[in-house]
């Protein structure tokens, strides 16, 4: 699956290509447990509440443990600590499933999956406003290393851990039984080969379509699973797209890093914007965005360009917009990337602010889980030019189908700040 091109390219030297784990450690696994097989044990030297245990926190590994196995966790004193998925290849060696005495058998998985489905369908009532939403949100749904989005009759899984990748098909089949959906697909997350030792092409159920059309607040979107990013569509910004549309009536709107036109279409269709210009570096995404505009019979100007030279050209031409949206791809993938990523966010916001009409709005976003909200706020403040001032009107996050785990702060990954940019 193609990955979304980054606005920046890394300055670090290329590393040697990583090797995958052996084929025998990539085969699918059932959710059933062998009653005659005792689970391997892994020692936890430095216990934490976080659902990921890195190698440095672990002690002895049971030699029977293989990559992707379910293992029992014990403290150094021999006290039971819980159960998790093991991968000796990964620095994130254990993905903790629970810290109770309940063994994660098929019944346990079914209960966790039913709980996730009930949250979206019954409590949040998402089917009333959209037929696409996040169904499994990794650690926040007690399934670390796995996300699953629903696209109507299709379930799309993205795997970040080997243990979840090996169980993904079995999990999707359980969810099909709960929801009554027909098709599923599975993709590897970015960097899964480097970090976890697996990277497989798209897997799908028989006759699973390669594309579909979904609906969000009455607006329709084409989703192309072969050309799209992640699971196919970014439903985390669903509510933010609707909220921003309230400020767009009769306004000029610039959507930077527009991907397939989510904000652009909602600004035009729901918000009744007078004009919308949308820019992205990904040529395929821009083409799909054009198709989405036609699907909804809306007129939007799409530009295939790198947003940096595009913004500089607009600044030189003294072009300004009432509403500017800046929603770049993830710019911080590892802790070592933080300073470089923070500078990228600064540079992007510095330019975007100069394109906002006096008294206009900037919606600036970060989907980097390693960028804390406070740090992102400071970066935005520093990026506002000296002849201007900013007023943060709202702080939005991901839609509630992307819940935040109290024991895993990284699940609060999306930050969206609505800023009014005033001239001094």
Each residue's pLDDT tens digit, 295-328: 999 999 999 999 999 999 999 999 999 999 999 9
| Burial category of 43 from C-beta neighbours within 10 Å (exposed 0-12, middle 13-18, buried 19 and up) | middle
Q: What is the pLDDT of residue 16?
A: 58
The per-residue b/e assignment along 193-220, b for 16 or more CB within 10 angstroms, e otherwise, is: bebbbbbeeebbbeebbeebebebeebe
Q: What is the pLDDT of residue 103?
A: 97
The per-residue b/e assignment along 82-117, b for 16 or more CB within 10 angstroms, e otherwise, is: bbbbbbbbbebbbbbbbbeeeebeeebbbebbeebb
- Is residue 62 within 8 A of residue 37, CB to CB? The reply is no
Sheet holding 52-53, edge to edge: 52-53, 94-98, 80-86, 70-75, 41-44, 58-61
**Over the chain, what is the mean pLDDT?**
93
Average pLDDT over residues 154-172: 97
Residue ranges of domains in the chain, CATH in brackets: 26-98 (2.30.130.10), 106-212 (3.30.750.80), 233-423 (3.40.50.150)
- Is residue 111 within 8 A of residue 31, CB to CB? The reply is no
Indicate left, alpha or beta for 232 from its phi (over 0: left) and psi (-120 to 50: alpha): left
328 three-state secondary structure: coil
pLDDT tens sequence across 182-197: 999 999 998 899 999 9
CA distance 400 to 190: 24
Q: What is the pLDDT of residue 6?
A: 43
Give the closest residue to 410 by CA, choosing from 119, 140, 58.
140
The 8-class DSSP code of residue 335 comes to G
- Is residue 256 within 8 A of residue 325, CB to CB? The reply is yes
Which H/E stretch holds residue 174? helix 162-179
Cα distances (angstroms) measured from residue 321 to each of 191, 227, 261, 357: 37, 31, 17, 5
Alpha helices in 277-337 (DSSP H): 283-295, 307-316
* 350 pLDDT higher than 80: yes
Pairing of strands 321-326, 252-256: parallel
Cα distances (angstroms) measured from residue 111 to each of 32, 104, 172: 14, 10, 14
Which of the four pLDDT bands, split at 50, 70 and 90, describes residue 198? very high
pTM of the model: 0.91
Which of the four pLDDT bands, split at 50, 70 and 90, describes residue 149? very high
The per-residue b/e assignment along 364-386, b for 16 or more CB within 10 angstroms, e otherwise, is: bbbbbbbbbeebbeebbeebbee
Q: What is the pLDDT of residue 12?
A: 40
pLDDT-above-90 percentage for the chain: 88
Higher pLDDT, 311 or 12: 311
- Is residue 300 within 8 A of residue 268, CB to CB? The reply is yes
CA distance 189 to 200: 10
| Cα Rg of the chain, angstroms | 22
Which of the four pLDDT bands, split at 50, 70 and 90, describes residue 17? low
Pairing of strands 80-86, 94-98: antiparallel
């Amino acid at each position: 699956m193609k990955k979304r091109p980054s606005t920046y390219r890394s300055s670090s030297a290329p590393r040697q290509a990583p090797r995958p784990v052996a084929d025998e450690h990539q085969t699918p696994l059932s959710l059933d447990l062998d009653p005659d097989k005792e689970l391997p044990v892994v020692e936890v030297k430095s216990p934490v509440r976080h659902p990921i245990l890195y190698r440095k926190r672990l002690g002895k590994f049971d030699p029977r443990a293989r990559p992707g196995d379910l293992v029992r966790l014990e403290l150094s004193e021999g006290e039971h600590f819980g159960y998790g998925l093991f991968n000796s290849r990964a620095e994130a060696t254990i993905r903790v499933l629970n810290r109770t005495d309940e063994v994660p058998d098929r019944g346990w998985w079914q209960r966790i999956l039913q709980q996730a489905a009930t949250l979206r369908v019954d409590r949040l009532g998402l089917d009333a406003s959209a037929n696409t939403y996040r169904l499994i949100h990794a650690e926040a749904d007690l399934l670390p290393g796995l996300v699953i989005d629903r696209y109507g009759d299709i379930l799309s899984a993205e795997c970040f851990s080997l243990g979840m990748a090996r169980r993904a098909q079995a999990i999707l089949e359980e969810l099909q039984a709960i929801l009554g959906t027909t098709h599923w697909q599975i993709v590897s997350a970015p960097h899964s080969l480097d970090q976890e030792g697996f990277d497989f092409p798209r897997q799908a159920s028989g006759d699973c379509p390669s594309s579909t059309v979904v609906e969000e607040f009455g607006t329709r979107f084409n989703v192309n699973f072969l050309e799209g990013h992640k699971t196919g569509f970014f439903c985390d910004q669903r509510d933010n797209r609707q909220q921003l549309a309230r400020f767009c009536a009769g306004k000029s709107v610039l959507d930077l890093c527009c991907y397939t036109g989510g904000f652009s279409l909602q600004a035009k269709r729901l918000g009744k914007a007078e004009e919308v210009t949308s820019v992205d570096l990904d040529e395929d995404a821009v083409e799909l965005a054009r198709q989405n505009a036609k699907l909804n019979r809306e007129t939007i100007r799409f530009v295939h360009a790198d947003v940096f030279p595009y913004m500089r050209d607009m600044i030189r031409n003294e072009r300004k917009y009432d509403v500017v949206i800046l929603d770049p791809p993830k710019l911080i993938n590892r802790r070592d990337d933080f300073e470089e990523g923070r500078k990228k966010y600064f540079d992007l916001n510095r330019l975007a602010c100069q394109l906002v009409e006096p008294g206009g709005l900037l919606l600036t976003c970060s989907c980097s889980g390693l960028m804390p909200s406070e740090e992102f706020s400071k970066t935005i403040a520093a990026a506002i030019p000296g002849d201007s001032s900013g007023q943060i009107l709202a702080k939005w996050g991901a839609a509630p189908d992307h819940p935040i785990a109290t024991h895993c702060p990284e699940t609060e990954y999306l930050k969206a700040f609505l800023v009014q940019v005033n001239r001094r």
